[in-house]
Chain A
Amino acid sequence: MPLFPLVQIKNYENTLSMPSEVDKAKVFLGRLLSNPMLQGYTPLQREEQILQLFTTHASQLAPLLTSNEFFPGKSWTTLLPILIQALFELTDQDLWTVLEPFLQSGLSLSFLPFLTKQAVPEKQVRAQLTALLKEILQSPEGRRVSTGPLTAVQQGGCFRYIDAIFERRSYIHFEITKVQRLRMSKEEIKGILTVTLLLKSAYVLYVSDGMHTYTDRIAGVIQGSFAEKVIRSLHKRISLLPLSILESAIHANMSFGENRFIEATARLASIFASRYRTFRAGLPVDRGADTPDKSWFSVARKNYKFYGFDIKMLDELYMIAAEMGW
């Protein structure tokens, strides 16, 4: 079952809708977005929830929204693109209010000199990153595959694990510092992980419609040859970023089971992007239930082959979550 009617969403940019219709849709969507059940979600997560609602309750929504009271004369087929356009605009508004300042000043790029061994014009790197993310987020597929990684960055919960990893100096620390040879402080590692997460979805820019099905395109697992092609193309577009960062970002979409060479930061980004896709901040833990992170890592350990995760990393992250009560 598709996440939402693909054909209609794909053409949303081409739909000529009157501004008043989009504004009207925004009013309705604004009320939907203020639903208490969406509290604790990031803008992209909320967007995904609304799209899911459109899919699962289309038969109930269609007659209500196309009635005289709301959008008279519209059919569900013509109305849905308007709703989606309005939804994307509302999401972008919320998303970029936070993301733009973060990319311009909040994001730490102090790791760059360690990797390039030379001065890097940070301002231009930030501009390139911003432009690329805006491009990724223009397509529905890009938005869906970006939900997890951007939520991980926005919520920031994954970075506390870097602190714990550096304290434990166990498997993940060894993989980062010895195997990947990132001999730098944990703050720099956090920076690398952030950029890896931000660029993880960049592969969708190179997925042509004919290449895969929609589900494949948002599935998040890509093949090695395709990944190398994406890395080369990306390197031409954001040449200021070291190749190793781009490799880390794109390899984060590959299965570790089939590609044992994948960088530790890519493996971590893959896990955290998946974990934060459905993460909800401030969700109370019911009595009798385990903590959210511990539960998630426990389930992920059982599904590690399915998702292509590094089981040893999951084991360590599970231990950290259990010890810290996360």
Chain B
Amino acid sequence: MKRSFWEHVVVGAIILVLIQTVVDDMATLADWPWNVRRVLLYLGFLFDLFFSVEFLVRLYLAYVDGQAKEYFFRGYGWIDLLASIPLLLFNSGPVVYGLLGGGVPVFGMGRSLNLLKTVKVVRVARILRVLRMLKVVRRLKQTDSVMAQRHIGKIVTSVLATCILVFSIGTFLLQSRSGKSFEQMYWEAVESASDTLGKVSSAELNATVQTIARVLPPLLKVKAEGKDLFFRHDSFYLATRFGPYDYFYERRGSVELFFDYRPITRLQAEESLLILTMVLGILLILLFYYAPHFAVTVSDPLFVMLKGFKEPSYNLEVKIPPHLKEDEVFRLAAQYNEEYLPIKQRNLSMGEGKTSDIQWEAVSELFKKG
């Protein structure tokens, strides 16, 4: 009872964290106010913490029962691990730590500390959250057949896990590759603007800033010797729309530059939504197209034959779709229909093997009740 309740809580949390992930990405794309996005970040952290604790508790309980290996490999513990602790360590954990630690000092310190790269890895790691959907899949009762559940579970898990991991690792590896991607062009533009403004003379600085600001929308603010030379938005807009990791800071001599990082996070949010949509699409196709196909072609005919062998009065034939009659399962079913059932019927007519439909267990229950 308690276990069942706990399982329901976990499934509920998985569904909620996926909703949170989608809403968070949409919030980034739609440029929602920072205070709303901040709440979403804290929620993500709480979910990651919850699943990390859940994984550790499960692993511990399995270890106590001597089933740790069984849980990790056959019980899909590896999914629980990938979808919990790495996310806490590399995704929501650093973000929340940064927010609680003052935000700007950590995230707005500039690229010299390579924190922006960390933020990027964090965003990529969010894709691993989709792995949690596999935990929901494992709990789906698609068919009555244990074999069908296992087969479909294996296929769904392997296909989705491959997609997610390939996408995650691929994205991580590709970011270090040289090339003219949007991100590369973004960083080149930022680098070029910073260098230019760092080298220009004081007399030309103001005009150069204005020129660069026109062609470089991510440039938010320029300060020189403590004075504001340029700002794209008023301070209210900056305070309400920008979070600590939505911008970064560069310094070239006496010139301080603030750049908008949101174009990059928008790109990552798009990627995240894309992979989530792809995973959902694959999942739906496997569950609603492949699973019924497996049932019709494998588990259902076997179930009917097994029931016919076990129950004396069960005499329904296996339905054989004409286009599948050459399948081994249906060739076996044809033998069952053509040979076994007629013999069974004749034997029953002669009184052989005839038994009551009432199970003895039900009768013995009557005696227990007195």
- Within 8 Å CB of B348, what residues of A? 278
Cα of A49 to Cα of B363 in the assembled complex, Å: 13
- Within 8 Å CB of B325, what residues of A? none
User: Counting CB contacts under 8 A, is A7 at the interface?
Assistant: no
Q: Is B300 a contact partner of A286 (Cβ separation < 8 A)?
A: yes
- Within 8 Å CB of B187, what residues of A? none
Q: Is B357 a contact partner of A49 (Cβ separation < 8 A)?
A: yes
- Interface size (A, Cβ < 8 Å)? 41
Q: Is A307 a contact partner of B349 (Cβ separation < 8 A)?
A: yes
Q: Is B352 a contact partner of A286 (Cβ separation < 8 A)?
A: no
- Which stretch, A30-38, A160-168, A198-206, A262-270, touches the partner chain B? A30-38
- Within 8 Å CB of A215, what residues of B? 350-351
Contact with A along B116-151 (1 / 0, CB 8 A): 000000000000000000000000000000000000
Cα of A219 to Cα of B351 in the assembled complex, Å: 10
Cα of A187 to Cα of B315 in the assembled complex, Å: 31
Nearest B residue (CB) for A291: B316
Q: Is B358 a contact partner of A37 (Cβ separation < 8 A)?
A: yes
- Within 8 Å CB of B355, what residues of A? 52, 56
- At the interface, is chain A mostly helix, strand, loop or mixed? helix
User: Counting CB contacts under 8 A, is B180 at the interface?
Assistant: no
User: Counting CB contacts under 8 A, is A179 at the interface?
Assistant: no
Taking CB atoms and an 8 Å cut-off, the chain A residues in 45-93 that contact chain B are 49-50, 52-53, 56-57, 60-61, 64, 69
Cα of A299 to Cα of B315 in the assembled complex, Å: 8
Contact with B along A170-213 (1 / 0, CB 8 A): 00000000000000000000000000000000000000000000
- Within 8 Å CB of A50, what residues of B? 356, 358
User: Counting CB contacts under 8 A, is A18 at the interface?
Assistant: no
Min CB gap B288→A, angstroms: 15
Taking CB atoms and an 8 Å cut-off, the chain A residues in 266-293 that contact chain B are 278, 280, 285-292
Q: Is A303 a contact partner of B346 (Cβ separation < 8 A)?
A: yes
Known A35-B358, A303-B342, A303-B346; contact A288-B319, beta-carbon cutoff 8 A: yes
* A286 touches which of B304, B338, B357, B366 (Cβ 8 Å): B304
- Within 8 Å CB of A238, what residues of B? none
User: Counting CB contacts under 8 A, is A102 at the interface?
Assistant: no
Min CB gap B292→A, angstroms: 9
User: Counting CB contacts under 8 A, is A237 at the interface?
Assistant: no
Cα of A294 to Cα of B299 in the assembled complex, Å: 22
Q: Is B356 a contact partner of A56 (Cβ separation < 8 A)?
A: yes
Cα of A278 to Cα of B348 in the assembled complex, Å: 11
Taking CB atoms and an 8 Å cut-off, the chain B residues in 330-351 that contact chain A are 337-338, 341-342, 345-346, 348-351
Min CB gap A134→B, angstroms: 27
Cα of A295 to Cα of B305 in the assembled complex, Å: 13
Known A38-B357, A303-B345; contact A286-B303, beta-carbon cutoff 8 A: yes
> Which A residues form the contact surface with B (CB < 8 A)?
1-3, 28, 31-32, 35, 37-38, 49-50, 52-53, 56-57, 60-61, 64, 69, 215, 219, 278, 280, 285-292, 294-296, 298-300, 302-303, 306-307
Can you offer 23 A-B residue contacts whose CB atoms are under 8 A?
A1-B354, A3-B354, A35-B362, A37-B362, A38-B358, A52-B355, A53-B363, A56-B356, A60-B360, A278-B348, A280-B313, A286-B303, A286-B307, A287-B295, A287-B300, A288-B301, A289-B317, A296-B315, A299-B342, A300-B345, A303-B345, A303-B346, A307-B349
> Which B residues form the contact surface with A (CB < 8 A)?
295-296, 299-301, 303-304, 307, 313, 315-319, 337-338, 341-342, 345-346, 348-352, 354-360, 362-364, 366-367, 370
